[in-house]
Amino acid sequence: MAIGGGDVLGGETESIDRTLVELSGVDRPKLLFIPTASQDAEGYVDTITEAYGRLGCTVSALRLWGEDGNAEIAAKKIDAADVIYVGGGNTKALIALWKELQVDKALKSFLDSGRPAGGLSAGALCWFSTVNSDWPQFEAIPGVNTAPLECLGFVDLALCPHTRDEGFRLSEFREMMRDVPGAGVGLDDACAIQIRGEEYRILASQPGAVAHLMFSENGMVREAEMPPHNDFRPLNRLRRGVI
């Protein structure tokens, strides 16, 4: 469940968050929050603990910059969870630390077991292939808002968050896609793409939130709006630029 952005504690993504929790199939699921992209910010841990606690979850955190920064500890915590939620922040730093601690392998095993995972912003991007990330801002690179980043590739699509809510995002995603053949999806805040095997659907938790398909071929990019839909559709069609 990849969410484009939004105020979690303020309830902007609540219906999407609730769907993620329900996918666990457990009455009071153990949710593992992974705040790597925010460098384990405790305020963020408190936010997710409160927001997902209201949805019936028992929340714990995987602090990879601190006491959990060990491959064996991380794998055990991931395996013990019913559902995983990854927070936003610096996607580049997240991917680097996950690979160093083999968290990517533990997450792949988690997903292969059929349990649900998701996240917001960086926590949405991490699962996909080439993404439009704001990592240059974290490194204070002058005049650069976003740049491509290779992520885990569990989902063979490009992805971009915050397409409506950050004015530069959609145009910079479009430019990125000129050099990335195939399909990419942009997500407004309060909009999510849910992947189920080889199917997907678009969910929205606020009026007007939509996704955006970008399909790149021979350096030309075709764009289409993707309104929310509850029915699941084939991913192979989306990869060919068909909604």
Buried b (16+ CB within 10 A) or exposed e, 118-130: bbbbbbbbbbbbb
pTM, full prediction: 0.97
β-partners of residue 182 are 216
For the chain, give the mean pLDDT.
98
Q: Per-residue pLDDT tens for 111-129?
A: 999 999 999 999 999 999 9
pLDDT of res. 238 = 98
pLDDT of res. 2 = 99
- Residue 189's pLDDT band, with cuts at 50, 70 and 90, is very high
CA distance linking residue 58 with residue 177, whole number of Å = 39
pLDDT of res. 151 = 99
Number of domains in the chain: 1
Please state the rounded mean pLDDT for residues 156-182: 97
- Residue 105's pLDDT band, with cuts at 50, 70 and 90, is very high
Beta strand pairing call for 83-86 and 30-34: parallel
Q: Per-residue pLDDT tens for 197-214?
A: 999 999 999 999 999 999
Which residue type does 180 have? V
pLDDT of res. 84 = 99
**Tokens 């593992």 sit on residue:** 32
Please state the rounded mean pLDDT for residues 41-58: 98
pLDDT of res. 46 = 99
pLDDT of res. 10 = 97
CA distance linking residue 9 with residue 2, whole number of Å = 17
pLDDT of res. 182 = 98
The torsion region of residue 153 among left (phi > 0), alpha (psi -120 to 50) and beta comes to left
Cα angle vertex 138, ends 134, 143, to 5°?
A: 70
**Any residues with CB less than 8 A from the CB of 107 and at least 6 apart, and which?**
78, 84, 98, 117, 152, 154
CA distance linking residue 23 with residue 31, whole number of Å = 12
- Residue 53's pLDDT band, with cuts at 50, 70 and 90, is very high
- Residue 22's pLDDT band, with cuts at 50, 70 and 90, is very high
Query: If you ran DSSP here, which 8-state letter would residue 155 be given?
Result: B
Buried b (16+ CB within 10 A) or exposed e, 1-17: bbbbbbebeeebbbebb
Q: How far is CA 232 from CA 112, 127, 229, 237, in A?
A: 20, 19, 8, 12
CA distance linking residue 218 with residue 96, whole number of Å = 31
**CATH code, 62:** 3.40.50.880
pLDDT of res. 169 = 97
- Residue 95's pLDDT band, with cuts at 50, 70 and 90, is very high
pLDDT of res. 226 = 98
Q: Per-residue pLDDT tens for 136-148?
A: 999 999 999 999 9
| Residue 152 belongs to domain spanning | 2-239
